[in-house]
Chains A and B, each alone.
Chain A
Amino acid sequence: MRPPHYPEFLTGEVPVDFVEVISENFMVAGGRPLRTLDTVRSHYPVALHGVSMSIGSADGLRDDYLTQLKGLADRIDPLWVSDHLCWTGNAHFNSHDLLPLPYTSEALDVVCANIAHAQDVLGRALLIENPSSYLTFSDSEMTEWEFIAAMTARTGCFLLLDINNIYVSAQNHGFDALAYLDGVPVDRVRQIHLAGHTQGDHLLIDTHDQPVPDPVWALYDIACARFGPVATMIERDDNIPALTELLDELAVARQHAHTRDRVAA
Chain B
Amino acid sequence: MSFLDAVLIVVSVYAALVLIRVVIGPTIWDRLLGLNMISSKIIMSIIILSVVTDRSFLLDIALVYSFLGFIGTVLIARFVETRGEI
**Is B a genuine binding partner of A?**
no
Residues of A at the B interface (CB closer than 8 Å) are none
